[in-house]
A and B are shown apart, each in its own frame.
Chain A
Amino acid sequence: MRLDKKERSLLGLASILLGFLFVILLKTQSVAGSQAAARPETAVPSLIQTEQENQQISVDNERIRQELAKYAQGQSASTLAKQQLQEAQMNAGLVGVTGQGVRITLDDSKRAAIGQEDPNNFLIHEQYIREIFNALWNGGAEAIAVNGQRVTTNTEVFCGGSYIQINGTRQMPPYVIEAIGDTNNMSAALKFYRWFQLGDFEQQYGITRKLEVLTEVVIPAGKLREYHYAEPVKEGT
């Protein structure tokens, strides 16, 4: 097809226009899609956050109000203080407790790695213990101990090579984790990735991963540490 100059330029112009419009259209289309989704996202987490915090603070405020009411009623100061002390000891994990719960036993494999097998898969690592604690607390555990060491706010589970350091003591396998709380909730919370992986390791490499649901578990008291650096914030400062 032969075209003269005028025709060619007209056609060219039309094509350019067409291409241009097409690109603009594509751009607006993608904007239309992304815009609605992108912005409110950032507001939602901070909303949930403040709402949750509000709830927590109101619960705490209620607690203080109740205590103030007791003072106002003129209850004996020493009885109140003793009561509080007991409560705080219970919360902090300085009281031995008993109740229904679960017992988890983890142990290294009895056989050694052969050939290409990764020797790490034959051992219980400190990370597993931490992850199980996390899952148990998340499942509403009320008290946890491992090898008789009560888990408190300052409990570390740190790998020291052939042993694991817990509460400053050296612990060796088998690791027996005991937790008191609602056994259904705790068992459900345990069904997470690592738990199933450990199950696979049990079959393939012969480690031990055992879960027992018990009507009575006894968990010993933890120890209060001395605080040298942290000072209570004095109100009004």
Chain B
Amino acid sequence: MHGWKRSLALPVTMVAIALGFLISLQAQTQKNVSAAEQISAERMSQMKSVLTNSKAENIKLQEDHRTLTEQLDAARKKVGTDPQLLEQLEQLQILEGTQAVEGPGIQISIDDRNKNVLFPLSTDDIARMINTLKFAGAEVISINGQRIVSSTAIVLSGSSTILVNQVPITRAEGIPYELNAIGDQDTLVDYFSKLEAPGLKKSGLTVSIARKTLRIPSYKGAYTFKQAKPITP
């Protein structure tokens, strides 16, 4: 200790104090972090259990829906409803969207998570693409499992959640957007790849179009007419 100089005592003390302060702060933050981790883990597990419940309910409801529709079909056949009338009904239900359909078409997958994407896919983009598909003669269209019907509104909820038919279509996993369109495959591919794909690719999105046999689910929303009264001819 004989080599120490008096002039050094002050800076060394300062450093020691700072060191002590930092160490205690570090310990404190560490504690905070673990507390925050614990809270978010708790929240996560609660959320997960709620989500699991609601998913289980979803599966059950879908199952119910299927059996009920089967029963209805059987009941209609049993009472011998005019098959021509039933066919007419089916055509109408394709238009109103309450009938699940299958047929040849195209599946468009769009990924907007690339680094060089300036603006993620907007509600306007989605509306425009759907309009182009309609123009190309698409008979039935869906986006992320939501059937497009006449009264479908595509709106933003908050800053990034897109609602279609009032249902958020955000996906946590896989390709963010999947558009299905049933119709003439050549026309659909032609129109979409000429009118829509170049613009999307230019803004950095990944777009792929595949010809497929598709199954499009029914529209699960309800039509309500409170003001509109039918005009009887």
Contacts and interface: CB of A to CB of B under 8 A. Distances in A.
A43 interface: yes
Contacts of B81: 77-78, 80-81
A231 interface: yes
A53 B58 contact: yes
B86 interface: yes
Interface in B10-30: 11-12, 15-16, 18-19, 22-23, 25-26, 29-30
A36 B231 CA distance: 57
A224 B104 contact: no
Contacts of A112: none
A142 B228 CA distance: 7
B69 A22 contact: no
B225 A229 contact: no
Interface string A202-237: 000000000000000011000011111111110110
Interface in A1-27: 1, 3-4, 6-7, 10-11, 14-15, 17-18, 21-22, 24-25
Contacts of B202: none
A98 B96 contact: no
A158 B131 contact: yes
Given A21-B22, A48-B168, A232-B101, A137 B152 contact: yes
A97 B3 contact: no
B51 interface: yes
A22 B183 CA distance: 63
A156 B134 contact: yes
A113 interface: no
Interface stretch (B42-50, B112-120, B204-212): B42-50
Given A78-B82, A97-B231, A142-B228, A43 B51 contact: yes
Interface in B81-119: 81-82, 85-86, 88-105
B95 A7 contact: no
Contact of A28 (B26, B131, B220): B26
B196 interface: no
A22 B155 contact: no
B140 A230 contact: yes
A29 B131 contact: no
A65 B3 contact: no
B155 A134 contact: yes
B127 interface: yes
Nearest to A237: B102
A96 B205 CA distance: 42
Interface in B107-163: 123-124, 127-128, 131-132, 134-135, 138-140, 148-155, 161
A56 B229 CA distance: 25
Given A11-B12, A152-B150, A227-B94, 15 more contacts: A1-B7, A1-B8, A10-B12, A17-B19, A24-B26, A32-B36, A46-B170, A50-B57, A64-B68, A71-B76, A71-B79, A127-B124, A227-B91, A232-B99, A232-B100
